C-alpha cells in the first residue's frame, strides 16, 4: 500500500482537508495497525522532508537521523517511538482541524466517555452513522466552528473511513478514543487486559455482590486494582482514580451496569 504510489498524497500542500488527512494516514500506516512506526515512520519523515524542502534526502546520512530524532522528541508525546493519529494531527497543517476541534470539546477521557454515553443512545457499545453525525455537530458547535450540512457530511464520512474497517457503518468506543490526545486515552491502558465474554461475566458477577446488575464506584476500584494486578500491569493511585472517573462517566447516577463496563473491558461488546 505504502509503495503503490510514486508520490505520497498531499504532503506538499500548505493545508490539508480532513479527507486528505485520512489519505495521508492510510498511505503511511501501511499495515493498518493504528500507528506509523518502524520503516513506515522512516518513510513518512523522509517524504515529509522532501515535500517541505523540495529536494531528495538521504536516510543513511547522520544528519537525517539527528533531524528525525528531534522531530520525534517534538511530536511523539507519549515517547513510544511511533506516531499515532492524534500526534499526526499536530504535525500536518490541517485546513479545518476537526481533530483539534474534537479536543477542545473533549479535553479529558472523562468528558469523552460522558459524550459517548449521550450519543450511544441504544447502549449498543457502538455509535452508528446517524448518531455520529449528531456527535460531530455538537462537537463543532461547542468549538464555535462554522459548518454547513455538506461539511458535516464530509466529517462524518471521514471519521467512518478512518475507523469503520469492516464497513458496517458503526464505530466502537476504543476506535473513537483514538481521536483523544495520547496521554488522555486511558483505554490504551486496557489493551493488554481485554476480556472475553466468559471472563467478563465471571468478574462482573464476582464484584456485583448483591446481584442487582450494577456495581458502584468502590466496587469498580477493587475490580480495576485486581485486574491490573492479575495482568502484572503497574498502576499508580492517580492513574487508577482517573480511569475510575472516566469509566464512571458511563454510569447511570453512580450505577455502572454490565453493558457499560463491557464496552471498556471486553474485546467486543457482548450481544
271: helix, strand or coil:
coil
pLDDT digits (tens), the chain, 271 positions: 444 444 566 777 777 777 788 788 889 998 877 789 999 999 999 888 888 776 667 778 888 889 999 999 998 887 889 998 778 877 876 655 566 666 666 666 777 788 788 888 777 778 888 888 888 887 777 767 777 888 888 878 877 877 776 778 888 877 777 766 655 666 666 666 678 888 888 989 999 888 888 999 988 988 888 888 777 777 777 778 888 888 888 888 899 998 888 888 875 544 4
Q: Where, residue-wise, is CATH 1.10.238.10 in the chain? A: 105-183, 185-265
Per CATH, which fold does 185-265 belong to?
Recoverin; domain 1 (1.10.238)
pTM of the model: 0.60
How far, in Å, are 68, 97, 242, 247, 268 from residue 134 at the CA level?
40, 18, 27, 22, 24
- Greatest alpha-carbon pair distance for the chain in Å reads 68
How far, in Å, are 92, 152, 174, 234 from residue 99 at the CA level?
11, 14, 16, 30
- What is the domain class of 105-183 according to CATH? mainly alpha
pLDDT for the residue numbered 270: 45
Q: CB within 8 A of 41, min separation 6: which ones?
A: 82, 83
269: its cell numbers: 461488546
pLDDT for the residue numbered 3: 44
pLDDT for the residue numbered 39: 92
Amino acid at each position: 500500500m505504502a509503495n503503490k504510489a510514486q508520490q505520497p498524497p498531499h504532503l506538499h500542500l500548505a493545508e490539508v482537508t480532513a479527507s486528505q488527512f485520512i489519505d495521508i494516514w492510510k498511505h503511511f500506516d501501511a499495515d493498518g495497525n493504528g500507528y506509523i512506526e518502524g520503516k513506515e515512520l522512516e518513510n513518512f519523515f523522509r517524504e515529509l522532508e522532501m515535500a517541505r524542502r523540495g529536494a531528495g534526502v538521504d536516510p543513511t546520512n547522520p544528519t537525517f537521523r539527528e533531524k528525525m530524532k528531534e522531530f520525534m522528541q517534538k511530536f511523539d508525546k507519549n515517547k513510544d517511538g511511533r506516531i499515532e493519529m492524534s500526534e499526526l494531527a499536530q504535525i500536518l497543517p490541517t485546513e479545518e482541524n476537526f481533530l483539534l476541534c474534537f479536543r477542545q470539546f473533549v479535553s479529558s477521557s472523562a468528558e469523552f466517555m460522558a459524550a459517548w454515553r449521550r450519543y450511544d443512545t441504544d447502549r449498543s457499545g457502538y455509535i452508528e452513522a446517524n448518531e455520529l453525525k449528531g456527535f460531530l455537530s455538537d462537537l463543532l458547535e461547542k468549538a464555535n466552528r462554522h459548518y454547513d450540512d455538506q461539511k458535516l457530511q464530509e466529517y462524518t464520512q471521514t471519521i467512518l473511513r478512518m475507523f469503520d474497517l469492516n464497513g458496517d457503518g458503526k464505530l466502537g468506543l476504543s476506535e473513537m478514543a483514538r481521536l483523544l490526545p495520547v496521554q488522555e486515552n486511558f483505554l490504551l491502558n486496557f489493551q493488554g487486559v481485554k476480556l472475553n465474554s466468559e471472563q467478563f461475566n465471571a468478574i462482573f458477577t464476582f464484584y456485583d455482590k448483591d446481584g442487582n446488575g450494577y456495581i458502584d464506584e468502590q466496587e469498580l476500584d477493587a475490580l480495576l486494582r485486581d485486574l491490573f494486578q492479575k495482568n502484572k500491569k503497574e498502576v499508580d493511585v492517580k492513574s487508577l482514580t482517573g480511569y475510575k472517573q472516566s469509566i464512571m462517566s458511563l454510569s447511570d447516577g453512580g450505577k455502572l451496569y454490565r453493558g457499560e463496563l463491557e464496552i471498556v473491558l471486553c474485546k467486543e461488546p457482548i450481544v
